[in-house]
Structure 1
């Protein structure tokens, strides 16, 4: 595989998914080819990576992401992510909740500590660039992407938190303001192999200059790239696949 457009990225749709089209557009803007995946079909259509986008799958009944984690497509995602091939998988917001419920990532997501839905532009720090979804960033780089959630508080037992920190598996961390009470200001984490990443904020809403947040975290030519800090999440995965 030598061309970005040959990289096929599956985008899963569940009942209640809201951001599948945004995720597909982000893949296209990054140079790849988005492929629609349906929750009730156990077929990944030979994709090279999978994105589980945001929304309110199954109305967040039981717990956010709990029902979606049992969907037919997720059995294939789990197998592929854990296989020798280590399929890159990204879970955004509700997708992050689904990844914890499916045990691809540790910990859990609960109601925000203030018990309210929150929507704002959020500064994040890239705490590791050694994943399939963060390699195009500099470690320690700050970015700005939108955040919108109600069940966004990341929690885990002390041993799990200690392991995540010791193994450099906090991928994204809130800077300046913790919007939901997440432990250790954690906004996103990775699995041990770095192919599975989940985060609560929405990089797919910050992929096109002039149409995302009005500020950026860092970098030159800020005015020219304002609003596109999240694009690196998607270009990271495409480059990781090309470079295999």
Structure 2
């Protein structure tokens, strides 16, 4: 028995997220089918997270167990020969049998990209949130500091998902403006369901002067989802890296 770790990049546009679901196509489903065809086994992949429909990944991590005699490092090229062009295996390697890509994760980094132009884009439209209104970046930067540290993020979680606690630690939240793009990069020990997208939605409300930066702490303490901003669309979100 071998435990194989995969680093996966995918464009989530055509998929209903990572996790297998009934009557829809998911990234996990497509990779598992290819693995089953290659090995003749009934393989189940353990994924590092459950990205939503339309969300992308540059450094998703998965692992699976196999009795196959195929060298672990060869799974990368063999899978890439079978997978659709919007899913790529960046690396495959053997790891200890005890390794679990989900439960051994110590943290993740996500990015979210906003494009602020009068007209919607044609090229790259699946990787940004097109937002026409002007945003006050100074207010957004001021408010972003309130998310750093360990907090109860219940107000920034959509209903659904099973978690024992809503307390999470955000170690970094960087915001960069590059031409017409505003890029948010957020690193934490874990994220609740839609947490990143709701944080970004709340910061947009701050940039529109609908929420004061001083109110972020009050929203966190309230644990009330209705006090935070909207959940922004999934296309601008990308899982950059998983830490172990």
Q: Same fold (TM over 0.5)?
A: no
TM norm structure 1: 0.30
Larger radius of gyration: 2
Question: What TM-score do the two structures reach when normalised by structure 2?
Answer: 0.30
